Amino acid sequence: MAMGASPRVLCVIVLLASLLTWGSCDAAGDGRRQQLTMLPPRGWNSYDSFSWTIDEAAFLHNAQIMADKLLPHGYQYAVIDFLWYRKNVNGSGKDSYGFDSVDQWGRPFPDPERFPSSAGGKGFKHIADRVHAMGLKFGIHLMNGISTQAVNASTPVLDVHTGKAYVEDGRQWTARDIGITHRTCAWMSNGFMSVNTDVGAGRAFLRSLYQQYADWGVDFVKVDCIFGTDYSPKEIVAVSETLKELERPVILSISPGTEATPALAENISQHVDMYRITGDDWDNWKDVRPHFDVARSFADANKIGATALRGRSWPDLDMLPFGRLTDAGVNQGPHRSTNLTFDEQLTQMVLWSMVKSPLMYGGDLRHLDDETFNLITHPTLLKINHHTKNNMEFGDIHSERTSEPNEQSGRSDLANNGGTVLGLSTCSDKRASGWYSSSNDQICRSYGIQNRNASFCISKAKLRQTVDGVTMRNEEDQAKFHLAGMDTDDGCLDASASPWRTSSASRTPMFSTCERHSKQVWELTENGHLVSSYSGLCATVHSSKEGESETTGARAWTATGDKGEIYVAFFNLDTASRKIAVRVPDLEKVAGRKLARKHLCTCTEVLSGKSRSLMKGDISAVVSSHGSMLFEIQC
């Protein structure tokens, strides 16, 4: 670094000269300021097709196909999803204990049976090298915090500066000193727990983890059990700070996004590069549908492409579950085809593009068919995904049914929408207040349902003596925490998210078997908030009728291309086909200029290639159930 000063001075001058050369500082060899996420990242992730059972051969095979076929279309990150350190043997599974490979410093390392090149302490170095040689970048999934096995084993914390055990205040610190045993991950409570980042040893541990990943050649980390209902802002910031100190630029993706809102992202989006804004998206229309509302709220809050750790931060709608897949929570690789119809896949791809979501393909690439390939590499969709601005839902649309609803799906929609909807949100949400303690030991909240008032009550159950191993001692704790349960056999109100709780399931009542875990501990505040002790989020309740029109009918989104072209996407969320129309004068308000002047503008439906005139004063089309159309207006 003797010559370090001059490239930096040069760099500042370059930056002053033109913001467009952002990133040219990297030539100076300092990766810390590299702007890697100016565009939403693309890649492949192993979860949808392998759950956690991926091995080295299958991963490298998928990576090679990605390099050959998808890299030319910007798909760059090859990501190994969760539990790469877990032995795939009888008895191991998503929340088993004791099957993980953990080194003498308490850090997980790849299961050598599944990843043979990692043997002898080499970690993912060899795989990362292979992936880099293909021209790709390498990513891994991580659970937030520290392994329970490490805490149980009291492994010392590594100080990367000395290469020895971390010493502070004259003593060596161990995993037991930094693991927060009463903050285990709600959906993997045997596997991982939070780390105390208030102490030097906690931060040293994070440094020892991420330094090792950087040494292996990791370019991307997806940190789970840290956002959404597992919201842990302090740890998000601590991980982000740790990454900033590394020489190697590593981009940060966080999850899950169950119950995420723009308010929840407010304090953290600048510390990460992408963050999930829904629960897991599987290949089911009911999972796809909620993304429309969530995406609109993040677009309205200007969160698409906001400032980030390494460029801009991208609200992430989750992977694309097309092609050959597995099921959630199984010990099994790809064995079935996507359940989505082609129309539904197209709709998902168009929405993800209009929202500028990261695009992570989830299907097994060894079985990638032409139809799926053409969909995920559609040139106009990919151009929209990277090079548009003003991406937003367009409210001024007119639509009516042009067919009878598909009876079967119509019925199941109704069944699913009946009753009371419980949810979680940031406590500032107006639906979060209004809880009160009623006389007969119940906690209630009133809400409106078709011009009348209804109330929803949960019984206050006696709190167990211990929660997550912490004894509820004094009067204050007694008053503060309430384990709320129904008086029936429904179990306890549960604020956890899990990778198996999908985006559609996130608004169904949240009851599960009563456990001694803070995910089931609630506090009723004086402001009428029912607060989860696990995430600090507040319970909400409303009638499902309230949200019904939100999830049916038609939607439109607009965006502006980098040559000034206007994109308009129509989506039909209904179970019947619909005629959807937007008026050109309304579009002109968004475009900020005239579009209908004679011969000057052309309007083409991108997916069929058919063009139409704007002179009629509107753009209208019949769109099939769950289908979409995309118009490009060029002037």
Ligand X SMILES: *[C@@H]1O[C@H](CO)[C@@H](O)[C@H](O)[C@H]1NC(C)=O
Q: How far is the CB of 187 from ligand X (least distance, A)?
A: 15
CA-closest candidate to residue 546, choices 622, 473, 447 = 447
Number of residues that bind ligand X (CB under 6 A): 19
The number of angstroms, rounded, from the C-alpha of 6 to the middle of its chain's C-alpha atoms is 40
Q: Which residue from 21, 302, 307, 339 is in contact with ligand X, where contact means CB under 6 A?
A: 339
Report the residue number, 264 or 629, with the smaller CB distance to ligand X. Answer: 264
Report the residue number, 192 or 522, with the smaller CB distance to ligand X. Answer: 192
Give the range of 99-107, 236-244, 261-269, 416-424 binding ligand X by CB under 6 A.
261-269
**Interaction of residue 233 with ligand X, rule CB under 6 A:** yes
Question: Given phi > 0 = left and psi -120 to 50 = alpha, else beta, which region is 441?
Answer: left
Residue linked to tokens 């803070």: 518
**Interaction of residue 226 with ligand X, rule CB under 6 A:** no
Q: At 61, phi and psi to the nearest 5? A: -65, -45
Q: Which residue from 97, 99, 373, 500 is in contact with ligand X, where contact means CB under 6 A?
A: 97
| Two tokens, residue 312 | 């801009």
Report the residue number, 22 or 97, with the smaller CB distance to ligand X. Answer: 97
Report the residue number, 284 or 512, with the smaller CB distance to ligand X. Answer: 284
C-beta neighbour count of 417 within 10 angstroms: 16
Q: Do you know the residue count of the chain? A: 635
Residue 609 CA: distances (Å) to CA of 380, 572, 604, 629: 11, 20, 6, 11
Residue type, 379: P
Q: How far is the CB of 529 from ligand X (least distance, A)?
A: 12
Q: Which residue from 35, 152, 390, 442 is in contact with ligand X, where contact means CB under 6 A?
A: 152
What single string gives the DSSP state of each residue in 204-270?
Answer: HHHHHHHHHHHHHT--EEEEESSSGGG--HHHHHHHHHHHHTSSS--EEEE---TT--HHHHTTTGG
Q: Which residue from 6, 408, 439, 453 is in contact with ligand X, where contact means CB under 6 A?
A: 453
Q: Which residue from 148, 174, 212, 253 is in contact with ligand X, where contact means CB under 6 A?
A: 148
**Interaction of residue 390 with ligand X, rule CB under 6 A:** no
Report the residue number, 452 or 563, with the smaller CB distance to ligand X. Answer: 452
Report the residue number, 124 or 361, with the smaller CB distance to ligand X. Answer: 361
Q: How far is the CB of 435 from ligand X (least distance, A)?
A: 14
Report the residue number, 259 or 393, with the smaller CB distance to ligand X. Answer: 259
Residue linked to tokens 């693991």: 179
C-beta neighbour count of 527 within 10 angstroms: 12
Q: Where in 34-73 is the site for ligand X (CB under 6 A)? A: none
Interface map 549-568 toward ligand X (x if CB under 6 A)? --------------------
**Interaction of residue 459 with ligand X, rule CB under 6 A:** no
Report the residue number, 97 or 99, with the smaller CB distance to ligand X. Answer: 97
Q: How far is the CB of 516 from ligand X (least distance, A)?
A: 13
**Interaction of residue 90 with ligand X, rule CB under 6 A:** yes
Report the residue number, 113 or 266, with the smaller CB distance to ligand X. Answer: 266
Q: At 592, phi and psi to the nearest 5? A: 75, 15
Q: Where in 184-203 is the site for ligand X (CB under 6 A)? A: 190
**Interaction of residue 99 with ligand X, rule CB under 6 A:** no
Which residues touch 556 (CB under 8 Å, ≥6 apart)? 393, 394, 397, 568, 569, 570, 571, 580, 582
Rg (CA), the chain: 25
Residue 597 CA: distances (Å) to CA of 84, 564, 601: 59, 16, 7
Question: Given phi > 0 = left and psi -120 to 50 = alpha, else beta, which region is 145?
Answer: left
**Interaction of residue 451 with ligand X, rule CB under 6 A:** yes
Report the residue number, 501 or 578, with the smaller CB distance to ligand X. Answer: 501
CA–CA separation, 384 and 376 (whole Å): 13
- 3-state secondary structure (DSSP) of residue 74: coil
Q: How far is the CB of 214 from ligand X (least distance, A)?
A: 29
CA–CA separation, 284 and 264 (whole Å): 26
CA-closest candidate to residue 177, choices 159, 143, 150 = 150
Q: Which residue from 104, 154, 267, 611 is in contact with ligand X, where contact means CB under 6 A?
A: 267
**Interaction of residue 264 with ligand X, rule CB under 6 A:** yes
Task: Please tell me what DSSP assigns to residue 439.
Answer: T
Report the residue number, 266 or 605, with the smaller CB distance to ligand X. Answer: 266
Report the residue number, 131 or 254, with the smaller CB distance to ligand X. Answer: 254
**Interaction of residue 608 with ligand X, rule CB under 6 A:** no
**Interaction of residue 503 with ligand X, rule CB under 6 A:** no
Interface residues toward ligand X, by CB under 6 A: 90, 97, 148, 152, 190, 233, 263-264, 266-267, 282-284, 339, 426, 446, 451-453
